[in-house]
């Protein structure tokens, strides 16, 4: 993914980071609800969290795009992008957690 030109919202990185946060939240909640962090669950957590989501999302591109926006005179846009990225990432992770919890409860026949 190429960083934004510095004059527009960096949609590519924003979308990748939000979807990665959702996937990470869902994966970690699923593994937590399935049992203790050991054996295959630990390996899966490390693979999905550190491996897949770590490679899929990119903090360095986020930092570069904030810097590029600020350097091109869009300081407020850079600050807004940073704050919105963190807040939306947290919301996406919480959404992933809630989705996984509900899906597992439904699968197990428990309350939704």
Give binding residues for Na(+) as ranges: 54, 57
Distances (CA, A) of 109 to 35, 96, 105: 17, 20, 6
Binding annotation: 54, 57
Cα(43)–Cα(64) distance, integer angstroms: 31
């Amino acid at each position: 993914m190429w960083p934004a030109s510095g004059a527009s919202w960096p949609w590519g990185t924003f979308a990748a980071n939000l979807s990665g946060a959702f996937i990470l939240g869902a994966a970690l909640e699923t593994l937590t609800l399935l049992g203790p962090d050991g054996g295959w669950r630990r390996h899966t957590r490390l693979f999905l969290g550190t491996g897949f989501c770590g490679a899929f999302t990119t903090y360095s591109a986020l930092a570069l795009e904030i810097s590029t926006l600020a350097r091109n005179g869009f300081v407020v846009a850079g600050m807004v992008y940073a704050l919105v990225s963190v807040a939306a990432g947290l919301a996406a992770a919480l959404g992933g957690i809630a989705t996984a919890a509900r899906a597992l409860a439904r699968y197990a026949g428990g309350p939704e």
